[in-house]
Amino acid sequence: MIVGLIDSGLGMLPTSAWLRQLRPELDLILLMDPDNAPWGPKPDDWVIARVLDAADRAVSAGAEVVVLPCNTASVTALSHVRAHLGSGVPVIGTVPAVKPAAAVSDRIAVWATAATTASVYQARLIEQFAAGRTVSPIACHGLADSIDRGDAEAVSAAIRAAAAATPADVESVVLGCTHYPLVAAEIAAALPAGTRLFDSAEAVARQTLRRIDQLGRPASGSGAVTVSLSGRDGVLPASALAHHEGRLLAGVTAEQSIHQ
């Protein structure tokens, strides 16, 4: 069974790593788009066309399930991908974990990109699942881009700025960009002790596995991980190997990644 995952950059790594841990025999195709990242500021029609192209390439390569572990791709293109591929190919999108955070917290911050923070989509999500809660949207300027570049200094600066903008009394922080779980430990260290972090990577991976099981087809594979970089065959970028999730997918240790 081959699963195609589509994102402009490293935001796909947390969900991909969960799939690798939960069902290691699955073959994964990681379709990144470094030539055009980030997708957030791009026009909707451009994003839709780019995601549809990646979905077609995934299916042509044998993917029977497609995952969009990216908020921009999910908000903008999910319905289009589902209509384009038809009911025979399950397409799983990503939703920021506002609902589980609101189930246990009254004071919540949602960390996301500037585009997502300003979106009608996020406002509706908060209205739907966190009505009656105090919710603070926090735009994390440059954080996702810095993670993609592997710029640890810029990552730290962006986290400090977002933490400074976050009310001190928050109980939970929703990581509303799929890149952010890659630096969750640093985010947690910048927040008041006891602040809970919520992200959607595990939930998206488990939903993907449920949809795979519903297909009733053999789910076995070789556990291969194939990487596509803007349509070219490639390997995970060095910035991915700075994270446990990237090393897991690449099959290398932290020490090996230092020398690559």
pLDDT tens-digit profile of 38-86?
898 899 999 999 999 999 999 999 999 999 999 999 989 999 999 999 9
Specify whether the CB–CB gap between 67 and 6 falls below 8 A. yes
Same fold yes or no, 2-94+202-258 and 98-199: yes
Alpha carbon of 20 to those of 3, 199, 245: distances in Å? Answer: 11, 18, 9
| Annotated domain spans of the chain | 2-94+202-258, 98-199
Give the model confidence (pLDDT) of 118-135 as tens digits.
Answer: 889 899 999 999 999 999
CA separation for the pair 200, 42 (Å, rounded): 23
> Is residue 140 annotated as part of the catalytic site, yes or no?
no
Q: 102-117: per-residue pLDDT in tens?
A: 999 999 999 999 988 9
Sheet with 91-92, edge to edge strand ranges: 91-92, 65-67, 2-6, 27-32, 225-229, 232-234
Structure tokens at 92: 């799983």
Which residues contact residue 127 at a Cβ distance below 8 angstroms, ignoring those fewer than 6 apart? none
12, 70, 92, 162: the active-site residue: 70
Question: Candidates 1.10.10.410, 3.40.50.1860, 1.10.760.10, 3.20.20.10; correct CATH number of 2-94+202-258?
Answer: 3.40.50.1860
Catalytic residue (choose from 19, 162, 163, 177): 177
Pick from 13, 84, 74: which is nearest to 47 by CA?
Answer: 74
Both tokens assigned to 112: 């996301």
Q: What is d(CA 153, CA 84) in angstroms, rounded to the nearest whole number? A: 41
Question: Which fold is adopted by the domain 98-199?
Answer: Rossmann fold (3.40.50)
Reported confidence tier of residue 254, pLDDT bands at 50, 70, 90: very low
How many residues can be counted in the chain? 260
Residue 33: predicted pLDDT = 96
15 phi, psi to nearest 5 deg:
-65, -40
